[in-house]
Structure 1
Amino acid sequence: MITSQRLPASLTPLDTALAAVLRGVAPVAPVTLPLADALHCIAAEMPPLRAHPPHDVAAADGWAMRANDLVGASFYAPLPLTEAPTWVDAGSAMPAGTDCVVDADMVDTSGPIVQVLAEVIPGQGVRRAGNEIAEGRAVTDAGRPVQPRDLLLARGAGVAALLVRRPRLRIVNLPGGEATATFIADVARSAGADVTRSEAPGRDAAAIVAALDASADLLLTIGGSGVGRNDAAVAALSARGEVIAHGIALQPGRTAALGRIGETPVIALPGAPDQAFAVWWALGLPMLDRLTDRQPRQTRALPLARKIASSVGIAEVALLMHQHASWATLALGELSLDAIARAEALLIVPGSTEGFAAGTVVDAYMLRE
């Protein structure tokens, strides 16, 4: 019979827990995905693009001419042409020997001789070769999330697929944790993971063991990591694999656990949304960033509007909002759903400090990149 586990007398420091779960974890192999599937994935090495457009093209409808031939033309002194110019549509290649496009209303074609009514400058109405995409440009830098604007660039260059890293993330949800599991799945997908979900048929350890499919690069369980009678996720992990730490010095989220099943790292998230959110940021995202070989996440350094006081020995999650060129604290340690929704940045206050004095400049992770 498998019984639930109680938290140890002392909690594992966050840095120690993170180092333990990251040990031996390497980036996943890149895969080639169609552009639509590559969105939000983390770019691998990108081949250089060819210049686009490959030659000069018309940027607008009009008459293709050579600017030096039109010097002095005006409404008061129309310039007659010895040969009729060539009409071009926007996007079409510029004829040889031309370097500008003259608007239709600047050319009089009503008489037997075509007359130009204005002079133009070289390049007017023309999109030069390489103007849209420079020769050798990459769609994006390796280690960066693929954004919609990157896909626009790829489509403009005629690229149909991208080389990206997209780790396989499996979420095992225990009954009662639907809202939290959906939230974590959504944020994991937006961070570049290929997410699959399964539901444990019950909250007892045997039911959870049966659902712990480790055929993924990272396995998450949602709920059942506490010490109540119905909290058996950690006991199930112990029966199926190895428990590295249960009880993390993190607020909220101290009942989280870490382990492995074979080579697959496992993070047991609490079922409460605020605790799962904190553990995901403190442990889940660093793991995903290692698997994707992601570049460091964006931070912003601003002074604190007010003092942040925290407990020594416990890392605490603070949610921040930009206000008057400083960080205002929305929540610390206890995170309401409203604060999670409104927050612009997140700060993990180290357990080695008692917090930060007002005016201290802190680097906070941006929640809205």
Structure 2
Amino acid sequence: MTQRLPPSLTPLDTALAALLRGVDPITPVELPLIEAAGCIAAGGPLFAAWPPHDIAAIDGWALRANDLVGASAYSPLALAMAPVWVEAGDAMPQGCDCVLDADAVEMSGPLAQVLAEGVPGQGIRRAGSDIASDTTAGAEGHPVGLVDLLLAGVAAVDRLSVRRPRLRIVNVPDTTTTAHMIVGIARAAGLDVKTHQAAARDEASIADALDASSCDMLLIVGGSGVGRHDAAVTALARRGEMIAHGIALQPGRTAAVGRLGKVPVVGLPGSPDHALAIWLALVLPLVDRLSARRPRRQVTLPLARKIASSVGIAEIALLAEEHHAWMPLAVGEWPLQAIARADAWLLIPASHEGFAAGTLADAYLMREW
């Protein structure tokens, strides 16, 4: 059956500009390390150098390399004084610049013999080698990753300053699968997600669920079409401002954007592929604006074959990397198996008819959605 569409379609660029109008980055908050993972770093304390001084990297004997020249199992070198035993993490004794394994020194009463040479720095972590002085955890404007958390933990910092937009998701009945997908993606993107289930698919029930009092953005999942049981758009118009219903984007043509007070609202179609396309094209730019994220990384590869597109409507192509090239999997209409295989996505502007094979395409990675 042919999908019914809104009477007019708003160009994607126009809808996005209207959605972002007046939206500023939110105020940073300090979160415990485990909660800061995935959020966008907003500056933070400068770490002192770590280690603060040379430390032993292994358990063994602390020695000076210049004193060990020529030592071997065939020509043991007797030491005038017994070496100092150090454990991994201990500060290096004054004048010592290497650590030898336990079996490299033979102890016989007070007499010590070295059976191997050493080199300066062997078995040692130099001061500042793990963390340079004035390092911060997480580059400002970029997601806080596992390595950032490791650095913070080593530096004994237990909280990080981040921007973490608060997202409220209103789930219209019968779109549970799509809602679960969006919730998972949103949490992976570092958002503070709260969900609410509308009591029914009718306008009054959806309108009752539209509460923007404690969120920075609101998504309605499902009910954005023009079917007899689609009431999300009229519910939004009843409670707030409808900016556009019907976006010139495929997939995702029946989406809507609006506002509740100053809070931006996006109505996602109930179909998983259409909802995902709107997430990529409209919601991600909104998330990036609220969190002051730096531009997302694009990967440039040639197209393995031609992509054809219709002029007048923007389309998103799903791509897989094959033999150092982008292989188009689906354009405009996305089978679920294409979504599962996709490594990246490419937005084709409404003014383009597509791209010839061999064209260098700047695509966004799916794992960074």
In structure 2, the residue matched to 1:55 is 53
Instruction: Say whether the 8 Å CA contact 2:302–2:325 is kept in structure 1.
Output: yes
Q: CA deviation at 1:10?
A: 2.6
In structure 1, the residue matched to 2:195 is 197
In structure 1, the residue matched to 2:269 is 270
Q: How does 1:203-222 map to 2 (within 5 A)?
A: 203-215=201-213, 216-222=215-221
In structure 2, the residue matched to 1:3 is none
In structure 2, the residue matched to 1:100 is 98
Q: CA deviation at 1:7?
A: 5.5
Corresponding letter in the other structure for 2:290: L
In structure 1, the residue matched to 2:227 is 228
In structure 1, the residue matched to 2:285 is 286
Task: Pick from 133, 136, 148 the counterpart of residue 134 of structure 2.
Answer: 136
In structure 1, the residue matched to 2:299 is 300
Cα distance in structure 1, aligned partners of 2:110 and 2:165: 69
Deviation track 1:325-365 (CA, whole Å, cap 9, x = no partner) reads 21111111111111111100001111111111111111011
The answer for unaligned runs of 5 or more in structure 2 is: none
Instruction: Say whether the 8 Å CA contact 1:226–1:255 is kept in structure 2.
Output: yes
In structure 2, the residue matched to 1:41 is 39
Deviant stretches of 4+, over 4 Å: none
Q: CA deviation at 1:75?
A: 2.1
Instruction: Provide closer, same or farther for how the CA distance between residues 323 and 313 of structure 1 changes in structure 2, counting only shifts above 3 A.
Output: same
Cα distance in structure 2, aligned partners of 1:247 and 1:219: 18
Instruction: Say whether the 8 Å CA contact 1:46–1:141 is kept in structure 2.
Output: no
Deviation track 1:132-188 (CA, whole Å, cap 9, x = no partner) reads 111122212101111112111211121111100000000000000111011001111
Corresponding letter in the other structure for 1:58: A
The answer for unaligned runs of 5 or more in structure 1 is: 1-5
Secondary structure of the residue aligned to 2:301 is strand
Corresponding letter in the other structure for 2:227: G
Q: CA deviation at 1:112?
A: 4.2
Structure 2 residue 155 is matched with structure 1 residue 184: no
Cα distance in structure 1, aligned partners of 2:99 and 2:246: 70
Cα distance in structure 1, aligned partners of 2:37 and 2:138: 12
Structure 2 residue 312 is matched with structure 1 residue 313: yes
Q: TM-score, normalised by structure 1?
A: 0.96
Corresponding letter in the other structure for 1:98: C
Secondary structure of the residue aligned to 1:285 is helix
Secondary structure of the residue aligned to 1:346 is strand
Corresponding letter in the other structure for 2:98: C
Secondary structure of the residue aligned to 1:334 is coil
Q: How does 1:144-183 map to 2 (within 5 A)?
A: 144-183=142-181
Task: Pick from 8, 11, 24 the counterpart of residue 13 of structure 1.
Answer: 11
Secondary structure of the residue aligned to 1:101 is strand
Deviation track 1:255-274 (CA, whole Å, cap 9, x = no partner) reads 10000010000000000000
Secondary structure of the residue aligned to 2:66 is helix
Secondary structure of the residue aligned to 2:51 is coil
Cα distance in structure 2, aligned partners of 1:183 and 1:247: 22
Q: CA deviation at 1:234?
A: 0.4
* Matched residue count: 364
Q: TM-score, normalised by structure 2?
A: 0.96
RMSD of aligned Cα (Å): 1.2
Q: CA deviation at 1:40?
A: 0.5
Cα distance in structure 2, aligned partners of 1:197 and 1:368: 23
Instruction: Say whether the 8 Å CA contact 2:309–2:348 is kept in structure 1.
Output: yes
Instruction: Say whether the 8 Å CA contact 2:105–2:113 is kept in structure 1.
Output: yes
Instruction: Say whether the 8 Å CA contact 2:256–2:268 is kept in structure 1.
Output: yes
Secondary structure of the residue aligned to 1:114 is strand
303-312 or 23-32, larger mean C-alpha shift: 303-312
